Structure 1
Amino acid sequence: MNKPLKMLVGTSIALMLSVGFEAVQAQDDTAAASAPAAKPTHEQKWHADHKLEAQVRHALTTHKVESSDIRVVARHGVVTLDGTVEDESMIPVATTAAQSVAGVKSVKNNLTKHEAGN
């Protein structure tokens, strides 16, 4: 076989292999995209809850709610607020602040007004 013909055959084979590889890669990408996401581990859920608690606490501060006497607990998007506030008008503000955080599904507001002497 002459040299130009060998180069043409070699290039053709390389091109066919490359196209075949890309087709297989595309099939792998499609299968990966349609596969269900891996179930989060207990530790990943704990970290997500902890992060949500921190974001809610930040939102309380942003909405000018004194949160030093407020306990924030998040479990799978459900946020519970326990504790006291100095002014009763801050109770609904705390709910609004918590609901404004992405990932919060619902808010259980158990806040009460701080009574003098307690």
Structure 2
Amino acid sequence: MNKPLKMLVGTSIALMLSVGFEAVHAQDDMSAASAPAAKPGKRAKWKADHKLEAQVRHALTTHKVESSDIRVVARSGKVTLDGTVEDESMIPVATTAAQSVEGVTSVKNNLTKHEAGN
């Protein structure tokens, strides 16, 4: 084989290897981008639940629901309200307030009217 032909073959092989290498890396990058995100850890879930609870408490206050006797528990978007309110008409208002918070997927309202003397 003559020298220019050897150079052309060698360059062609190097170019093909380079293009193949780039294609493999591009495919790896695409599969990494489409892979599902890692599940959040316990601490991240706790922080998200705690933040949601605080947002629901704020919404209760904004909707004029006295929340000092209300316990708010959030677990992955599911909110539970336990406790008592002074006026029975505040029970559905509390549900509406909790549902208005972004990230709340459901509300279980276990609120009751506070009885005098209790």
TM-score range, shorter chain: 0.7 to 0.9
Q: How many residues align?
A: 101
Cα distance in structure 1, aligned partners of 2:76 and 2:85: 25
Q: Identity over aligned residues, as a percent?
A: 86
Matches within 5 A, 1:1-118: 27=27, 29-118=29-118
**Corresponding position of 2:6:** none
Aligned amino acid, residue 49 of structure 1: D
Q: TM-score, normalised by structure 2?
A: 0.75
Gap runs ≥5 in structure 1: 1-15
Secondary structure of 2:30's match?
A: helix
- The RMSD of aligned alpha carbons is 2.0
Q: TM-score, normalised by structure 1?
A: 0.75
Secondary structure of 2:101's match?
A: coil
Shift of 1:48: 0.7
